[in-house]
Amino acid sequence: MDPATIIGLLMAFGAIYAMVALEGASITSLLLPAPMILVFGATLAVGLAGSTLKDVVHAFKALPNAFKGQDRPAAGQHRRDHCLR
């Protein structure tokens, strides 16, 4: 896994914890189903609305590569159809 992925995840969870601490709420309040559905559902819906269905499918298929750390082609060696999007 790329170190940037780990750092980004730690920063995201740190920001959430800081927000809860500043508001004086309990961290368990984030584990309620309603807020989780709101956050994750709205995020997916906005992502889908802001792009094409084809791009969303490609993004979900590429998601495991972010955690596996698979090699990518060198710069300039991408297939032509990827460059024309």
Going by C-alpha positions, the residue among 66, 65, 46, 48 that lies closest to residue 57 is: 48
User: What pLDDT digit, counting tens, does each position of 7-24 carry?
Assistant: 999 999 999 899 988 999
Helices marked H in the chain — which ranges?
Answer: 3-23, 33-49, 53-68, 80-83
CB 3 within 8 A of CB 66: no
pLDDT at 60: 84
User: What pLDDT digit, counting tens, does each position of 21-73 carry?
Assistant: 899 988 888 788 888 898 889 988 898 888 888 988 888 888 888 778 666 65
Dist. CA 37–CA 31, nearest whole Å: 10
